[in-house]
């Protein structure tokens, strides 16, 4: 009597897809081509700005422009430092970003906790109000905010720049989505041990939500640092202006076409700090944005 021995050779369940010319063309048209076009549209102007900041005026306004400067110079950066109180503008931007962004992040963390974990009749109303706030552009509130802040004596002050933007509907929404993925059993166990809302927030909820908090924090920092319209409206003295508004002052002072290099140097100085912060924290963006997208 013969017996059949089962084969011990592992059978691969993965089938390699053949790369046909049609699939290669499809991948190029739907993947690589849009990616290359997006890189050109987004990155090329930034690289051109950086290159132009090291060029003399004769190399910028010319019939035969070149991407790289023939004779790199730092004169444009020296002109920016001489024309503007660059240290004061940088300090104002840093203060507005750190204070405004910190308070905005704190309010997003605590408001989202109250909406998700404190069961009251007002929770749904507050969240509906947050969603409604996401639908309105910030420019719609410029005039009411200006009247309010000017009446309170906040023109040409840093707190007048910070106060109207302390609420973050997007940050609150993102934090709420993250909090919904946290198992309620964690908080119930802490509650049995006698933990209150304050302790549960900072000992349990915040530690497991670090990627999302970092994402909201980074978005808040970028928004506060690049904010232009409101600081432009509420300030008109250089001692209280932020860097983006100060760059506009440079444009007003240097109106001829021969100073494009100075303008490019000023714009480069504005974006360098935020690019460094973004490069250091960019890994948290994808993790934070997708953490609340999957609920087990």
pLDDT above 70 as % of the chain = 87
Is residue 5 very low, low, confident or very high in pLDDT (cuts 50, 70, 90)? very low
Q: What is the largest CA-CA distance in the chain?
A: 102
pLDDT at 213 over 60: yes
| Average confidence (pLDDT) over 223-230 | 90
pLDDT digits (tens, 9 = 90+) for 145-177: 999 999 999 899 999 999 998 888 888 988 988
Provide the pLDDT for residue 163.
92
Query: Over the chain, what is the mean pLDDT?
Result: 82
What is the C-alpha separation between 264 and 258, in angstroms, rounded?
Answer: 12
pTM of the model: 0.76
| Average confidence (pLDDT) over 118-130 | 81
Provide the pLDDT for residue 289.
61
Q: Nearest to residue 261, comparing CAs of 42, 62, 43?
A: 62
Provide the pLDDT for residue 149.
92
Is residue 121 very low, low, confident or very high in pLDDT (cuts 50, 70, 90)? confident
Is residue 1 very low, low, confident or very high in pLDDT (cuts 50, 70, 90)? very low
| Average confidence (pLDDT) over 35-56 | 88
pLDDT digits (tens, 9 = 90+) for 250-280: 765 555 656 788 888 888 888 888 888 877 7
């Amino acid at each position: 009597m013969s017996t059949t021995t089962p084969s011990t050779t592992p059978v691969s369940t993965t089938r390699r897809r053949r790369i046909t010319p049609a699939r290669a063309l499809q991948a190029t048209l739907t993947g690589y081509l849009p990616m290359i076009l997006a890189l050109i549209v987004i990155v090329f102007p930034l690289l051109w700005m950086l290159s132009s900041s090291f060029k003399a005026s004769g190399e910028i306004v010319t019939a035969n422009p070149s991407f790289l400067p023939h004779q790199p110079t730092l004169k444009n950066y020296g002109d920016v430092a001489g024309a503007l109180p660059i240290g004061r503008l940088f300090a104002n931007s840093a203060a507005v970003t750190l204070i405004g962004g910190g308070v905005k992040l704190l309010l997003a963390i605590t408001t989202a906790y109250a909406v998700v974990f404190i069961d009251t009749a007002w929770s749904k109303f507050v969240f509906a109000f947050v969603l409604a706030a996401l639908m309105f552009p910030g420019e719609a509130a410029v005039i009411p905010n200006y009247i309010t802040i000017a009446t309170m004596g906040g023109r040409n002050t840093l707190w007048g720049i910070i106060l109207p933007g302390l609420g973050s509907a997007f940050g609150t929404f993102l934090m709420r989505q993250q909090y919904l993925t946290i198992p309620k059993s964690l908080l119930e166990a802490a509650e049995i041990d006698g933990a209150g809302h304050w302790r549960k927030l900072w000992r349990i909820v915040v530690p497991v939500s670090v990627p999302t908090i970092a994402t909201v924090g980074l978005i808040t920092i970028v928004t506060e640092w690049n904010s232009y319209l409101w600081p432009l409206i509420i300030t008109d003295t250089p001692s209280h202006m932020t860097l983006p508004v100060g760059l506009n002052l440079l444009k007003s002072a240097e109106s001829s076409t021969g100073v494009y290099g100075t303008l490019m140097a000023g714009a480069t100085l504005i974006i360098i700090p935020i690019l460094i912060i973004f490069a250091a924290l960019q890994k948290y963006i994808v993790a934070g944005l997708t953490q609340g997208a999957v609920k087990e």
